[in-house]
Amino acid sequence: LNIGVLISGSGSNLQSIMDACAAGRFKARVACVISNKADAFGLERARKAGIPALHLDHRAYSGREAYDEALVATLREFDVELVALAGFMRIITPVLLEAFPMAVMNIHPALLPAFPGLHAQQQALDYGAKVAGCTVHFVDPGTDTGPIILQAAVPVIEGDTEQTLSARIQKEEHRLYPEAIRLFTEGLLEVNGRVVVVGT
């Protein structure tokens, strides 16, 4: 199964997905990595792994739909069947979602539906939450509202900063995203309305 990974930054989740593929954890490969930012470190990670790494600048397009059409065209070129958003800081439109129905995933650094949107870890700290975590979900037209696939919780520890909490969450992200992809590649995810039933 060909995975297309969309990034904007560091790409540590991308790395965990590439590593899981290389380790033979599931029958899939990262077919291409696309970033809207030219200087995203994740592009270097992809090149190092011998994976096509492309920069598609959103500013070169007239709007979100036009940009998503370019994304779809590129993903199709690489025969992508699963799109994994991994720190991709763009709002996705139905243009992309309709091209890959129930085949666009995202990872969010909070236990959704709590703390959607930006700075989720800081939101959790400000709220005084005692438990934080991450969520892998299918993407729908809303922001961080799609059907939940897997979640992992971590404690919030007294004295935590956005950085220390983010690091604790990221460890779980790097385990959770490859696991969600494994379930997808093995056909073990059934979407029932907004509930994802995970098979064994």
Which residue from 29, 54, 59, 30 is spatially nearest to 44, judged by alpha carbons? Answer: 54
Q: Which span (12-20, 50-58, 64-72, 145-153) binds ligand GRF, by CB under 6 A?
A: 12-20
Which residues, in sequence order, are CB contacts of 160 under 8 Å at separation 6+? 125, 168
Tell me: does residue 146 bind ligand GRF (CB under 6 A): no
Check the annotation: does 11 bind a ligand.
Answer: yes
Pairing of strands 189-192, 195-198: antiparallel
Structure tokens at 69: 């059409």
Tokens of 195: 């509930």
Q: Is 116 in the site for ligand GRF (CB under 6 A)?
A: no
Supply the minimum distance, in Å, between the C-beta of residue 41 and ligand GRF.
8
**64 marked as binding residue:** yes
- Out of 10, 74, 93, 151, name the contact with ligand GRF by CB under 6 A: 10
The strand pair at 189-192 and 148-155 is best described as unpaired
Stretch that binds ligand GRF, among 44-52, 63-71, 107-115, 124-132 (CB under 6 A): 107-115
CB 183 to ligand GRF: min, Å: 18
Considering the complex, what minimum distance in angstroms separates the CB of residue 109 from ligand GRF?
4
119 is catalytic: no
Are 134 and 174 in contact by the 8 Å Cβ rule? The answer is no
Of 62, 5, 54, 60, give the one whose Cα is nearest residue 28: 5
Give whole-number Cα distances, 183 to 22, 121, 179, 187, in Å: 17, 26, 6, 6
11 binds ligand GRF (CB under 6 A): yes
Closer CB to ligand GRF, 174 or 189, in the complex: 174
Among residues 86, 77, 106, 96, the alpha carbon closest in space to that of 42 is found at 86
Is 91 annotated in some ligand binding site? yes
- Does the protein bind ligand GRF through residue 87 (CB under 6 A)? yes
2, 12, 74, 151: residue in contact with ligand GRF (rule CB under 6 A): 12
Q: Which residues are annotated as catalytic?
A: 108
From the annotation, which residues make up the binding site?
11-13, 64, 89-92, 106
> Residue numbers of the site for ligand GRF (CB under 6 A)?
7, 9-14, 42, 86-87, 107-109, 134, 170, 173
